[in-house]
Amino acid sequence: MKKILFVCTGNTCRSPMAQEFFNDIVQKSHDLENSFSAISAGIAAFEGAPASTNAIKVLQEEWDIDLSKHGATLINRDIISDAYLVLTMSSEHKDYLLYKYPEFENKIFTLKEFVYDNIINKNKFEYDYNLNISDPFGKSIDEYKKCAVEIKEAVEKLISILKTSSFS
């Protein structure tokens, strides 16, 4: 089974939400369930830290997804090596991973860059910061909902791409 790795900063909000959306959609629709699963990690995660309260609340109330058992994971070479595709929440996360693990550059993208562009222009000098998913950490429940909707839409697009492309 190929692993999709979602990466953010602390692995308590964005990447765990992406992981759970991906696994929930794949399981409920039976699309790709024997081909792909999602995991998540953070570039500055405190190992074992729980998901943020608002992330847990939003996923439970809006989509009936239980994030309460999540424990943060700190990114490392083995996790990246084992992943089929590494999708970050921002260009800063991507840049950090490319700097630290350049040997994996062919599988590291921002989530929105991958799903909305899908053809990465390596000669592009300016990054479109609209392709970042803003960190809701410490913000209102409405910011978490907005973030979760943005992630869910991108994950749904990702699943469509995986179903119809050479990535599957």
For residue 161, the SS3 value is helix
Count of CB atoms within 10 A of residue 3's CB? 14
Catalytic residue among 64, 78, 135, 147: 135
* Spacing of C-alpha 11 from chain mean position: 10
Catalytic residue among 8, 13, 24, 147: 8
For residue 106, the SS3 value is helix
Q: Compute and round to an integer the Cα radius of gyration of the chain.
A: 15
Give catalytic status of residue 14 as yes or no.
Answer: yes
Rounded to 10°, the helix 14-29/141-164 angle is: 50
Helical segments of the chain, H only:
14-29, 53-63, 77-82, 91-100, 111-116, 141-164
Give catalytic status of residue 64 as yes or no.
Answer: no
Catalytic residue among 13, 14, 24, 147: 14
Catalytic site residues?
Answer: 8, 14, 135
